[in-house]
Amino acid sequence: MREDLRLALLSLARAPWQSLLTLLTLACGLGFAVYCYCMYLGFIEGSLPFQAPDRIVGIEATRDGDRMQARSVLYADLLELRDSLPSVEDLAPLTTLPATVGSPRRTPVVVSAAQIAAPFWRWAAVRPLQGRLLQAADEGPDAPPVVLIGERLWREQLMGSTQVLGQVLRVNGVERTVVGVLPDAVRLPLNQQLWLPFQAPRAEQMQRQERMSIGTPGHVMLLARLKPQAGLASLQAELDLAGQQLAQRYPRSHAQLGLVAVGYTNWGMSDAGTITLTLAVAAALLLCLVSLNAGNLLLGRANERRQDIALRLALGAPRARLVMQSLMESLVLSLLGTGVGAFFAAWALTLTQQAAEASSDGRMPFWIHFELRPKALLFALLLALLTALLTGGLPAWRGSDVDTADVLKDGQRGSPGVRAGRFSRLLVVVQMSLAALLLWVSGTQLYAAQQRLGQGTGARMDDVLTARVHWQAPTPAPAPASAASAASPADDIATRRSQDTRALWARLEAQLDSHARTAGIHGAALATFLPGGSASAVELLAIEGQPAAPERAPVSHSYGVSTGFFQTLDIRLLEGRGFGSQDREGGRLVAVVNKTFAQQHWPGESALGHRFGWLDPDRPQALQWITVVGVCEPVAHGLVRLASQRQPVAYQPLAQLAALPQQMELAWVGGRDTASQREWMGRAVSEADPDLALQGVRSAWERQQMALAGADVMAGVCTALGLMSLLLAVSGIYGVTHRAVALRRHELAVRAAVGAPPAALLTLLMRRSLWQLALALLLGLPAGWVALGAMDLQSVDFLWGAAASALLIAGVALLATWLPARQALRQPPSRLLQAL
C-alpha cells in the first residue's frame, strides 16, 4: 500500500497541470455536495427542545390542495377535530404576534411573541432559568395576566434582575406578571422571545364564511403530538376523512378546504423541502458531471501510459497491481479534493448563514444553523471513496486492458473507441452551454440587484430613516347597556377597536409632524407600506361605468398614506393634488393613483374625477366609490423596480381607510442617521402612545439592501454554479483535446515530416473545439435569454452580459485546447517520427 501511494504521488507529480485540473474539478463537485448536505442538516436537524421531536407535527389547512400555512385552521374546526384523530395524543393551538414590551427601566421594544396552549409546554423538554412554564390555569378568563419571557428580554428590559419573578411588564398595553425566564437557545415555536397564555377566539370570530380569509382572529396555528406507534401517514388519512366530513357539513365554506400534516421542521420552514430538493438535484448533477470529467482526464492519462503499462505487463507485473496503482491516484485526488472542497464549503456556509440572518430580519427559525458538522465530514469521506471508484475504476481497468504485443509494436492499438470520444465531446458541449447560461443569468442578477439599489425606488432615499411600529389594540371595557342596545356586543367592540386604532394613527401623524418641525428636518410620513419593501395589499377593483363581476374584476395594490406623504418623499405628481387636511374621515373618499393605474383603466384621458371602489365578493352592497384627485409617478413598492412600475397602485389617506392596520411604517426625512434623530423619532412615537415602540430602525438604503439580500444570495449561488460549470468545461475540453492529441500522434508526425507548419497543425487540432464552442453558445445563450425573461430581467443593457459570458467561455475553452496541442507540437518533427 505504501509503495502504491508513493508511485501514485510520483505519477501525479509528472503531470502537475493535469493533476491540478483534476484536483480542482473534484474539489468543485465534492465541495458543493458537502455544502448541500450541510444545508440539508441545517434545515432538518436542529436542536428541537422536545421529548421525541419526531412526534411533534403541524396541521395546516389546504385550499385546492395547496398549503395555506400560517394561521390557517379555523378554531371552530379544531373543536370538532379533537375527537376524530385517534393517532393524536394531544393538540395545541397557538398564534404568533408582535408584542410591544415596556418596563419602568427601559423604553418599549417590539419582540416576536406567541400565545401557546398549555399542552405544548408538556411536550417541551425545557427547564426555565427561573420560575415556571405556562399552565392551563393561566388560560382561564379570570386568571391573572402573566407572561413568560426569554433570557435576552430579561437582560435587556429587566437588567438581568435576580428578582425578575413577580415583576410587571406592559405587553401590548396590558400589565402582566413575569412567571418565568427561558434560556435564549429556546425560542419556541419559531423565533419568539415572549410567551402568553393561549386565548381562544371569541364566538363571533369563528363564523364560517365563503372563501374565508386566512390569518383572521378566528384562525390559529395547530401543533399535534402523535401517539408512540402513530405516524404521519396514519394521521394524514384521518385528516383526509375529517376534511371530507367538514366539507359535507359546511359545503359553503369548506368545499375547497382540506387538512394536511407536516413534520415540525417543515411546518416551521415551509419551503425547506423545496430548497433542499433543489440543492440535492444540483449537487447530484454537478457530481455526475465532475465524475465524468475527472474520469475523462484520468482516462487520458491512462492512454498516455499504455506503453509503460504494456512493458510492465510483459515483465510479469500482475494486472491487479497495476489497477490498484491507478485507483490509488484517483483516491489521492479524491481525498485532496474533498479537503479543499470542505474548506470552501465551510467558508460558503458561514457566508450563507450571515446572508440568511441579514435578509430574514429575525424571522428565521431558531434551530436553523448552517455549519460544517462532523456528520458532514463523514459523509464527505464516504463520498470521496465512492468518487474515487467511479472516476478511477474505468480508467484503471481500460488502461490495464492492453494487447502487450500490439502496443509495444506501435503504441496505439486498443485506444478508446469512437463512441466514447463522441460522448466526451457531447458532455463538453453540455457543460459549456450550462456555464454560459448560469454565468449570464447570475451576472445579470448581480448587476440588476446593484442597479435596483443604485436607482432607488422612485421616492426619496437620501437622508431617510425608516422604522415600523406595531400596536395591539386592547379589548375595550364593556359598554353600558344603554349604549350597546343599538348593536351587538361584538359589533360594539369591533367599532370601538377601530376608533381607538384610527385615533392612535392620527395622534402619531400629528406628533411626527410636530417633532419634525422642531428637529428642523424636511418632514415625516406614515404609510401602511413604504416604498422599497415587498409587502402590499392587493384588492379587487370596481371601475365606475364598467361591469363589476368579481370573477373578472381587475386588481390593484392598495396603500394607506399620511397627508404629506407625496411631498415629504418627493414623489412627483403628474396631475391633480396630494392629500390635505380636508381628506378626513366622513368626507368624500379620495385617492391618488399611479400612472399605470390611470392608463390601464382610463386610457387616453385624464383620470381626475373618475371613480373606483374596492370590491368585496362577500359584500357587494358595501361598495363605496372613491374619487381620483391625483396621478403620481410609479414608485417601486416591490423588489423589482421595472415590475413595480407596471403594477397599478392606489393610495388613500389613512383617515379614510375602511380597515386600519395594526402595523405602520414611518419615514423620517431630511435628517442623517444619528442618535439625536433616532431620539426625535422615538420621542414622537412615545408621546403618541407610551406603548408604541420603534422597530427595525434603518436608513432607506439599508432597508432596500436588506430587501434585496435574498436576490443577492441566489445570484451568488448561481455564480458559484456557473464558475464550477466553467471549470468543468475547461477540464473536459482539456481532457478531450489531450486524448485527441494522443490518438493522432502518428498523423501529426507524418504531417510534420512532410512539411506541415506548426500553425496549420494547431489549427487542425483546435477546429473541433471551435465547433463545440459555437454549438454550446448557440444552446446556452438563448436558454439564458428565456430565463432572464422569466425573471423580468431582459434588457438591451444586459446583452453586454451575454457578450462578456461568451468571451469568457470562448477564452478559457480555446486556452484549454491550445495548451495540450502546443505541448504536443513543441517537439521537433524528428522526435515525433520516433513515435512511429
User: Residue 376's closest CA among 336, 334, 346?
Assistant: 346
Does position 207 have pLDDT exceeding 80, yes or no?
Answer: no
- The angle formed by the CA atoms of residues 282, 288 and 291, to the nearest 5 degrees, is 135
Helix, strand, or coil (residue 228): coil
**Domain range for residue 183?**
87-229
Percent of the chain with pLDDT over 70: 76
The pLDDT, as a whole number, for residue 92 is 94
The pLDDT, as a whole number, for residue 716 is 72
- The answer to the question of residue 533 being in a domain is yes
Query: Which of 145-149, 641-645, 660-664, 697-701 ranks highest by mean pLDDT?
Result: 145-149
Does position 552 have pLDDT exceeding 50, yes or no?
Answer: yes
DSSP 191: T
Convert the pLDDT of each residue in 705-737 to its tens digit.
Answer: 777 766 666 667 767 777 777 777 777 666 666
Spatial separation of the C-alpha atoms in residues 833 and 195, rounded to whole Å: 85
Per-residue three-class SS string for 507-537: HHHHHHHHHHHHHCCCEEEEECCCCCCCCCE
Helix, strand, or coil (residue 676): helix
Convert the pLDDT of each residue in 463-511 to its tens digit.
Answer: 999 998 887 766 555 555 544 445 555 566 667 777 888 888 889 999 9
DSSP assignment of 536-573:
-EEEEEEETTS---GGG--EEEEEEE-TTHHHHTTPPE
- The answer to the question of residue 549 being in a domain is yes
Domain boundary among 690, 706, 732: 690
Place of cell 409632524: 513
- The answer to the question of residue 747 being in a domain is no
User: Residue 440's closest CA among 65, 786, 8, 818?
Assistant: 786
Helix, strand, or coil (residue 108): strand
Question: Is this structure's pTM higher than 0.85?
Answer: no
Is pLDDT larger for residue 350 or for residue 814? 350
Spatial separation of the C-alpha atoms in residues 811 and 17, rounded to whole Å: 18
Spatial separation of the C-alpha atoms in residues 489 and 457, rounded to whole Å: 45
Spatial separation of the C-alpha atoms in residues 288 and 294, rounded to whole Å: 10
Number of H helices, E strands in the chain: 25, 23
Dihedrals φ, ψ of 629, to 5°?
Answer: -115, -5
The pLDDT, as a whole number, for residue 812 is 76
Spatial separation of the C-alpha atoms in residues 183 and 70, rounded to whole Å: 25
Does position 677 have pLDDT exceeding 50, yes or no?
Answer: yes
- The answer to the question of residue 47 being in a domain is no
Is pLDDT larger for residue 539 or for residue 600? 600
Spatial separation of the C-alpha atoms in residues 656 and 652, rounded to whole Å: 7
Helix, strand, or coil (residue 73): strand
Strand partners of residue 102? 170
Does position 240 have pLDDT exceeding 60, yes or no?
Answer: yes
Per-residue three-class SS string for 4-51: HHHHHHHHHHHCHHHHHHHHHHHHHHHHHHHHHHHHHHHHHCCCCCEC
Does position 184 have pLDDT exceeding 50, yes or no?
Answer: yes
The pLDDT, as a whole number, for residue 432 is 75
- The answer to the question of residue 680 being in a domain is yes
Mean pLDDT (whole number) for 244-257: 85
Percent of the chain with pLDDT over 90: 21
Q: How confident is the model at residue 701 (pLDDT cuts 50, 70, 90)?
A: confident
The pLDDT, as a whole number, for residue 420 is 46
Domain boundary among 229, 252, 281: 229
Mean pLDDT (whole number) for 755-766: 74
Domain boundary among 210, 229, 248: 229
Query: Which of 354-368, 551-565, 611-625 ranks highest by mean pLDDT?
Result: 551-565
Q: Would you say the C-alpha torsion 151, 154, 160, 161 has a positive or negative sign?
A: negative
- The answer to the question of residue 817 being in a domain is no
Mean pLDDT (whole number) for 289-317: 60
Convert the pLDDT of each residue in 98-121 to its tens digit.
Answer: 888 877 666 778 889 999 999 999
The pLDDT, as a whole number, for residue 413 is 42
Say if residues 806 and 776 touch (Cβ distance below 8 Å).
no
Convert the pLDDT of each residue in 388-413 to its tens digit.
Answer: 777 766 555 554 554 555 544 544 44
The mean-pLDDT minimum among 515-519, 584-588, 638-642, 704-708 falls in: 638-642
pLDDT averaged over every residue in the chain: 79
DSSP 137: G
Spatial separation of the C-alpha atoms in residues 399 and 715, rounded to whole Å: 42
Q: How confident is the model at residue 292 (pLDDT cuts 50, 70, 90)?
A: low
The mean-pLDDT minimum among 409-418, 562-571, 725-734 falls in: 409-418
Mean pLDDT (whole number) for 6-11: 68
Q: Would you say the C-alpha torsion 535, 540, 541, 546 has a positive or negative sign?
A: positive
DSSP 124: B
The pLDDT, as a whole number, for residue 590 is 95
Spatial separation of the C-alpha atoms in residues 428 and 422, rounded to whole Å: 10
Convert the pLDDT of each residue in 115-164 to its tens digit.
Answer: 999 999 999 888 999 999 999 999 988 899 999 999 999 988 888 888 89
CB environment 174-188: b (16+ within 10 A), e (fewer): eebebbbbbeeebbb
User: C-alpha grid cell for residue 104?
Assistant: 419602568
The pLDDT, as a whole number, for residue 605 is 92
- The answer to the question of residue 198 being in a domain is yes
Say if residues 121 and 133 touch (Cβ distance below 8 Å).
yes
Spatial separation of the C-alpha atoms in residues 594 and 592, rounded to whole Å: 7
- The answer to the question of residue 597 being in a domain is yes
Q: Would you say the C-alpha torsion 271, 276, 277, 281 has a positive or negative sign?
A: positive
> Domain count of the chain?
2
